[in-house]
Amino acid sequence: MSEKRRDSKNRVLRTGESQRKDGRYLYKYVDADGKPQSVYSWKLVATDKIPAGKRDCIALRDKEQEIRKNLSDGVSTSGSRMTVSELYTRFTTLRSNVKRSTKGNRQYTAKLIAEDLLGANPISCVKPSDAQEWALRMQGKGLSYRVINNTRRSLKAAFQMAVSDGWLRKNPFDFALNTVIRNEVNVRPALTERQERVLLDFIRQDKPYDRYYNEILILLRTGLRIGEFCGLTVQDIDFENGLINIDHQLCWEKGGSGYYIDTPKSKSSIRKVPMSAEAREAFECVLARRGEPEAFTIDGYSDFLFVNKSGQPYSAHHYQEALCRAVQKYNRTHEEQLPKISPHVLRHTFCTRLVKKYKSEKFTVYYGTFGYQHYFEPLCACIIGCCKGRSGKIDRITSRKRFTTLYTTFYGKVIKSGAKKCEVPSLKSSIKHG
């Protein structure tokens, strides 16, 4: 019978363990993929002292315990050596069927990850505390809560893929960001009725911003997203039926090809929006002023409504800047100040007006603690649109999916007369799947 192997302290070494001449301990094993692997440590057990001049490290037998647990759970160590940046690249490569705008956002996210020390770390070494420290570092760099949270969600999805592939046991990014850093997102409220009148009166009378009066009025009376608005063509305006066809949006790729046409934000965003009398009049004014501009085609679309002298359509950024400058000009000469106004604020104002217009409508909405507070006003508007004049009644909304369905219905989907009471997911189901 062969004598058992021992270390320099005369301790018996286990199968796979050995000690090198420099004093380091070595453990050899075969991973879940059938490949030979090795781990090292200056300590055999946690109570051992580190040699002078050497960094502290995890004891070899603690590493062995983790390895055996991984092997028992089928966790692959080959994949776990992948860096965070490599994992995110793999994740986005496998999910490439996305909008061009999403690809641009992913490039930005990949840059944020790569420029931080987290990006070079093996995914097996990333702990929940490391992920939370990353969030604090991003805040320290001046990034907004929204950007940090969007990046965290992307990393969470990438790490979840690693968990599903058996490379990791837990997802270190599975935490609520507001438990680590304060949510300081400033929610811009809808314009009051007085602020709306003041804005429209100023724009109508002021040079050179009077040329934007009809555009701003249309945004206020339709609730269109600015990309949908900029992409409108002459063919999209159905005066006969009083509808606006929304099946595309105009986008701008900074540093790329410039203008391009994309589908709306989601499938449910493809809709026909009712045209009010004010919106109709504004569209007629736009067409009369537009004349016959030079032909300009983008991805097969032409005859854009809102164009410059060269026939090129205005971008979302153009209207954003125009609104900002107009408000600044007004505030310089008036004691009563207007708040910051963006095209999205105008969309939000549209929804708010619907709530107030039909405030006598009886309905109940439960939105409470599930993160849907910022949907409340458009949600109310949606419910009103669905219920007004119908025998059907909606009691409560507890899921994002249900909200989307109703919002789509409000914008042109047919509800049969005398429809039965809408089925709403249970509270338990909404918490689980919402």
Q: Are 249 and 264 contacting, i.e. CB atoms less than 8 angstroms apart?
A: yes
- Position 306 scores a pLDDT of 93
Q: Which fold has domain 84-179?
A: DNA polymerase; domain 1 (1.10.150)
Alpha carbon distance 196, 17 (integer Å): 76
Residue among 283, 286, 308, 311 at smallest CA distance from 297: 311
- Position 429 scores a pLDDT of 35
Give the tens place of pLDDT for each residue, 40-52.
999 999 999 999 8
- Position 186 scores a pLDDT of 65
Q: Where are the alpha helices (DSSP H) in 232-315?
A: 277-290
- Position 180 scores a pLDDT of 93
- For the chain, the domains span 17-74, 84-179, 193-340, 358-433
Residue among 174, 92, 186 at smallest CA distance from 145: 186
Decide: helix, strand or coil at residue 18: strand
Alpha carbon distance 47, 40 (integer Å): 16
- Position 240 scores a pLDDT of 92
Direct distance between the N- and C-terminal alpha carbons of the chain, in angstroms, rounded to an integer: 64
What is the number of other CB atoms lying within 10 angstroms of the CB of residue 252? 17
Output the CA torsion 257→262→264→266 (10° steps).
-100
CA quadruple 290, 292, 295, 298: dihedral positive or negative?
positive
Domain 193-340 of CATH type 3.40.1280.10: no
Give the tens place of pLDDT for each residue, 94-142.
888 888 888 888 999 999 999 999 999 999 889 999 999 999 999 999 9
Do 84-179 and 193-340 have matching folds? no
Residue among 101, 81, 66 at smallest CA distance from 33: 81
37 forms bridges with which residues in the sheet? 29
Which residue numbers in the chain have pLDDT < 70? 1-2, 32-33, 73-80, 185-187, 255-257, 355-434
Element (H, E) at 298: none
Give the CB-side neighbour count of residue 429, counting CA atoms within 13 A: 9
- Position 358 scores a pLDDT of 52
Q: What is the pTM of this model?
A: 0.63
Q: Which fold has domain 17-74?
A: Double Stranded RNA Binding Domain (3.30.160)
Alpha carbon distance 64, 311 (integer Å): 69
